[in-house]
Structure 1
Amino acid sequence: SHCFPLNLIQQLSHDTFEQPPMYVAVMTYLGYGIVTLFGYLRDVLRAVGLEKCHVAQEREEQKDFTPLYQDFENFYTRNLYMRVRDNWNRPICSLPGPIFDLMERVSDDYNWTFRFTGRTIHNVINMGSYNYLGFAENNEDFLKTVAEKVRQYGAGVCSTRQEIGNLKIHEELEQLVADFIGVESSMIFGMGFTTNSMNIPALVGKGCLIVSDELNHTSLILGARLSGATIRVFKHNNMHSLEKLLREAVCSGQPRTHRPWKKILIMVEGIYRSAPTKPPSGSYIGYCCAVLFQYIMTKRHFLSPMVSNLHFLQARVLLSQVLVKNLYL
């Protein structure tokens, strides 16, 4: 068997998360089950007119239109999320710094609508903001630097880099990113989501295979679908599942024709936003390449393996904004 040593696979597959006690898991599933059961019961009551439906509904002439949401998504919003909606989307009345002020609100109809009381909740810890670099705070020194750079470079280039939109600071940032991650050069983009979704089709296409972690970000999933390549999904951070997919891909080739894949792109993230976890170890890429190489040599397939840790790009906002801030300062 052309496999990696078992002890290395076990080491790379080790999950460091503490498992919940059995009673916690049982009570959690039981709670979801009860709420879901009552949700279906209330949907029946709404359908027969015994309970008023507060949610927005389609007009009769729009019944034949394609629905905007899946049935369960609507069900979840109506019957589960609505019960705890008061814990989300809290309006603030100060800058979104580490500490901010909230506008107090109450609901008289079980979270379908809210009204403000006029009181303010002060000094609340901010645990859910995109302002993790502090750019939205009232920092006088930083704002002076921003104002100076806006006067120097303008608010935007209003052009593509191929024409007249390339500035020296862009090249400096690209070199700084390349030095940071230890590569020859790099390319920066203005938006992280499109970095993944628009550039994956440039790497692979029809006749190629994408092997993707099941918890990859939506931008990676969209880019994979747009590429036209075949997509296979392996279990999150599971090296056994990845090796099995790679073995089948190299041995079987493309569907129907069984021709070798033109390219195989393995997509993982440096930090998974949905978990949050990270790949097993720094030897993850080396392991993938070694597995591919062993099967390629065994089956004499021609293959161009591409192992992509796209969360060097997925950690895009944090890294790029830190670097921009360093350049400005």
Structure 2
Amino acid sequence: MTESPATKPADGEARPRVKNGLKPERNGLVKSLRRCHERQPKRHCHPEEEEVHAAALNGGLYNRPFLESFEETPMLVAVLTYMGYGILTVFGYLRDFLRHWKIERCHIAREKEEQKDFVPLYQDFENFYTRNLYMRIRDNWNRPICSVPGAKVDVIERASSDYNWTFNYTGRVVQEVINLGSYNYLGFAENTGPCATSAAEVTAKYGVGVASTRQEIGNLDGHEEMEKLVAKFLGVESAMAFGMGFATNSMNIPALAGKGCLILSDELNHASLVLGVRLSGSTIRVFKHNNMQNLEKLLREAIVHGQPRTHRPWKKILIVVEGIYSSINTPGEWMAG
């Protein structure tokens, strides 16, 4: 592989060879410490601050490198977590065996007598997991709040007398709890601040809704202004805005692609995108999250080999990614602050 001017070292020093232009990290990205450059003498760098940097492949093909900062899970924490789940699973099966032979009489992980005649809602292992693992910590999930769902919330305290099968409210409120499970990415849920002020002004000007689709009489100048701004930000010709996320993804993807088309989907895409991709009837291939090198490899193979068996060119190749990856796959969780 030859070096282009964009990738050749300027100071003449040899660089360590890396595969596909990347260091062999688990997430397929280049991991490097933040460094102080001579061009930025005022910037103070800390060695513990790290960045994940996707380097340009093939001599600057991606001239805007992808940056993502995150904190990796310590190995000790990961090992102890898996060990904890394994121990709970083993003891869960052991206690189920003892309950079957009437040796274990504790009702912590047993269904209530009045619930045994209902049709099971879960498969065997899901039922086992719910009773023996999730039920132990169920009081941490789905906790009701009594405040604005902002960065910090007020949580209503609950108590259980039947091992978390049912809950009763104590009347006490736990205040200033850090919110780790909200969709309030941009602060729209706040009742004070610039978002709330802007929302009040727009409501006074346009009303609370248009009560119609944009195709009929629901198109506003604000919609068009937002689309132009989004297109300018993304560097594309135009953009289209929809009013609902799940229906937009699940219903519009089948209109864009169908049989004979190929869809390349990020492995962490939202369930609405996954549903839309499946409903389209297209061939689906999944690439690693935010890994442009893996995506390019799949694109090259798709263009070279074409459709399976016939090797005809694909009618369309659609790449499906998200702008903001949500926490929909994880339950709402709260941590006292």
Alignment of 1:10-89 (within 5 A): 10=22, 13-14=29-30, 16=52, 20-44=73-97, 52=107, 53-54=110-111, 59=117, 69-89=122-142
Q: Which has the higher helix share?
A: 1
Shift in alpha-carbon separation, 1:109–1:100, aligned structure 2, 3 A: same
Shift in alpha-carbon separation, 1:180–1:266, aligned structure 2, 3 A: closer
Shift in alpha-carbon separation, 1:30–1:143, aligned structure 2, 3 A: closer
The aligned residue for residue 119 of structure 1 is 172
Is the contact between residue 107 and residue 114 of structure 1 (CA under 8 Å) also seen in structure 2?
A: yes
Shift in alpha-carbon separation, 1:267–1:142, aligned structure 2, 3 A: closer
The aligned residue for residue 254 of structure 1 is 307
Is the contact between residue 148 and residue 191 of structure 2 (CA under 8 Å) also seen in structure 1?
A: yes
Q: What is the rounded CA distance, in whole Å, between the counterparts of 1:248 and 1:169 in structure 2?
A: 42
The aligned residue for residue 298 of structure 1 is none
Give the counterpart of 1:218 among 271, 277, 287.
Answer: 271
The aligned residue for residue 309 of structure 1 is none
The aligned residue for residue 12 of structure 2 is none
The aligned residue for residue 327 of structure 1 is none
Q: What is the rounded CA distance, in whole Å, between the counterparts of 2:181 and 2:188 in structure 1?
A: 15
Cα-to-partner distance string for 1:261-306 (whole Å, 9 max, x where unaligned): 1122233334433699xxxxxxxxxxxxxxxxxxxxxxxxxxxxxx
Note the C-alpha offset of 1:47: 5.9
Is the contact between residue 42 and residue 51 of structure 1 (CA under 8 Å) also seen in structure 2?
A: no
Q: What is the rounded CA distance, in whole Å, between the counterparts of 1:37 and 1:193 in structure 2?
A: 39
Is the contact between residue 206 and residue 230 of structure 1 (CA under 8 Å) also seen in structure 2?
A: yes
Q: What is the rounded CA distance, in whole Å, between the counterparts of 1:266 and 1:163 in structure 2?
A: 30
For the pair 1:170 / 2:212, whether they are aligned, the reply is: no
Is the contact between residue 160 and residue 167 of structure 2 (CA under 8 Å) also seen in structure 1?
A: yes
Count of paired positions: 270
Moved more, 140-149 or 95-104: 140-149
Q: What is the rounded CA distance, in whole Å, between the counterparts of 2:197 and 2:304 in structure 1?
A: 60
Cα-to-partner distance string for 1:9-63 (whole Å, 9 max, x where unaligned): 3167325466555443332221111112233344445666766533795746x5x
Moved more, 163-172 or 93-102: 93-102
Q: What is the rounded CA distance, in whole Å, between the counterparts of 2:90 and 2:326 in structure 1?
A: 31
For the pair 1:234 / 2:234, whether they are aligned, the reply is: no
Q: Any stretches of 5+ residues in structure 2 without a counterpart?
A: 8-17, 32-51, 53-69, 330-337
Cα-to-partner distance string for 1:195-229 (whole Å, 9 max, x where unaligned): 32222222211001112222222122111111110
Is the contact between residue 183 and residue 326 of structure 2 (CA under 8 Å) also seen in structure 1?
A: no
Alignment of 1:289-304 (within 5 A): none
Shift in alpha-carbon separation, 1:34–1:140, aligned structure 2, 3 A: closer
Shift in alpha-carbon separation, 1:18–1:96, aligned structure 2, 3 A: closer
The aligned residue for residue 128 of structure 1 is 181
Give the 3-state SS of the residue equivalent to 2:22 in structure 1: helix
Is the contact between residue 181 and residue 327 of structure 2 (CA under 8 Å) also seen in structure 1?
A: no
One-letter amino acid of the structure 1 residue matched with residue 111 of structure 2: H
Q: What is the rounded CA distance, in whole Å, between the counterparts of 1:142 and 1:234 in structure 2?
A: 36
Q: What is the rounded CA distance, in whole Å, between the counterparts of 1:145 and 1:21 in structure 2?
A: 42
The aligned residue for residue 245 of structure 1 is 298
Q: What is the rounded CA distance, in whole Å, between the counterparts of 2:29 and 2:275 in structure 1?
A: 27
